[in-house]
Amino acid sequence: MEQNRTEISSLGEFKLINHLTKTFELKNDSSKKGVGDDAAVLEYLDKQILVTTDLLLEGIHFDLTYVPMKHLGYKAAIVNFSDIFAMNGQPRQLTVSMGVSKRFSVEDLELLYSGIQLACEQYNVDLIGGDTSASMTGLTLSITCIGEAEKSKIVYRNGAKENDLICVTGDLGAAYMGLQLLEREKTVFKGASEFNPDFAGKEYLLERQLKPEARGDIIVALAENNILPTSMIDISDGLSSELLHICTQSNVGCRVYEERIPIDYQTAILAEEFNMNLVTAALNGGEDYELLFTVPLELHDHIEAIKGVRVIGHITNESLGSCLVTRDGAEITLKAQGWNSVNN
């Protein structure tokens, strides 16, 4: 049975925006006026404002062969929320702009916005505006997220100190392996009328790639335990690259221990199936959207008590360089060769 298809041109830009955003409700006191005027109106009192933005291009950052539109909308919002959490802030507002080619229908965009709305509802964020335009190159999304934080609580990348503990949330490499799985199945099913592979037993890997979550729960847990990290970043381009960002900006070195890197068993099984190096996937695979942060050594027991956080190493003097310590005690220099959206 053929699904209904409403041409975008039948609505026009303003009716389309109203159609896609009419069910969004403002939840934050700082959001005074959202969609529907020439500009949104925000009011922040006694807080500093955090702003982050992402540009997502079809064929570069996502492949609609296997990425459902609803999942794309959800993930597009989540990756921006993650950047705000990485500054120890709270996301509050979101704008969504898109370029859309004629191959997309109103129903397609409804699915996209249903994913954005789900993310906004779960993370208490307001959609406050955006823009739409015709596109000759498929689908383009530009997402901007606005957040807030107390001035004294904002965490940057440049505050790591010698002997600080290096901590990471969740597990690493699963999103990358999920991408490898999807790409393999896309090749297998190339030319088939339907993309319907069997992913039984690998659901976690697919979820990590298609529907990641931002670690706002960890930001809350750190605050509840009165822990203010000395530096922090989210893992979008791989552990190795992100750790080197912290080391470079903090003028320090590091030692990370292979045996301490958290890896899910599904990640390990698929890496073996693909004959890939598991640690390489964890170090250089991207899109985990976990948090990487440092804390003073004396907070070791407090950090260990927080569920979902693992100490994987420590900060050293800059002269010692940045290294991975293997299981047999060898030291391998870390290199910034993480996930690159242009090549995936």
- Together in a domain, 20 and 71: yes
- Together in a domain, 129 and 23: yes
Cα gap 52→77, rounded to integer Å? 11
Whether 275 maps to a domain, the answer reads yes
Amino acid 156: pLDDT: 98
Q: Which residues pair with 41 in a beta bridge?
A: 33
pTM: predicted TM-score of the whole model, two decimal places:
0.94
At 110, the amino acid letter reads: E
- Together in a domain, 146 and 200: no
| pLDDT, tens only, 55-88 | 999 999 999 999 999 999 999 999 999 999 999 9
Percent of the chain with pLDDT over 70: 94
Amino acid 336: pLDDT: 82
Number of domains in the chain: 2
Whether 284 maps to a domain, the answer reads yes
Burial degree of 45 (CB within 10 A; 0-12, 13-18, 19+) = exposed
β-sheet with 165-169: strand ranges across: 231-234, 291-295, 165-169, 309-316, 253-257, 322-325, 331-333
- Together in a domain, 81 and 196: no
3-state secondary structure of 126: strand
Torsion sign over Cα 21, 97, 108, 115:
negative
Task: Tell me the mean pLDDT in the region 169-182.
Answer: 96
Contacts of 308 (CB under 8 A, 6+ apart): 169, 170, 215, 217, 218, 221
Amino acid 196: pLDDT: 65
Q: Say whether pLDDT at 189 is over 80.
A: no
Amino acid 190: pLDDT: 73
What is the maximal distance between C-alpha atoms in the chain? 66
**Phi–psi pair at 214, nearest 5 degrees:** -90, 145
Whether 331 maps to a domain, the answer reads yes
pLDDT grade, residue 331 (50/70/90)?
very high
